[in-house]
Copies of this chain bind each other. A is one copy, B any other.
Amino acid sequence: MGSRWKGKGAEVKALADPISEIVSQLQSSLISSNSKGLLSGTGVLLKADAELTDLLNRACFGRPRVTSEKNEQWFQLSTEEAFYLQHSLKCIKIVDHNDTELNGDKLWKHMTSSRENFPILFKAFSHLRSKNWVVRSGSQYGVDFVAYRHHPALVHSEYAVLVLSAQDGNAHGRLKVWSDFHCTLRLCGSVAKTLLILDIEEQQSCATSPSCLDNYVVEERTITRWSPEQGREKNVKSDPRVK
Contact = CB atoms under 8 A, between A and B. Distances in A.
Contacts of A8: none
Contacts of A177: 172-174
Residue of A142, A171, A177, A178 ringed by the most chain B CB atoms within 10 A: A142
A159 to B, nearest CB: 15
Instruction: Give the secondary structure class of A's interface.
Output: helix
Interface in A150-201: 162, 171-174, 176-187, 190
B182 A139 contact: yes
A86 B143 CA distance: 42
Contact of A187 (B138, B144, B190): B190
A227 interface: no
A71 interface: no
Number of copies: 2
B174 A180 contact: yes
Nearest to A179: B142
A114 interface: no
Nearest to A169: B171
A122 interface: no
A74 interface: no
Interface of A: 138-144, 162, 171-174, 176-187, 190
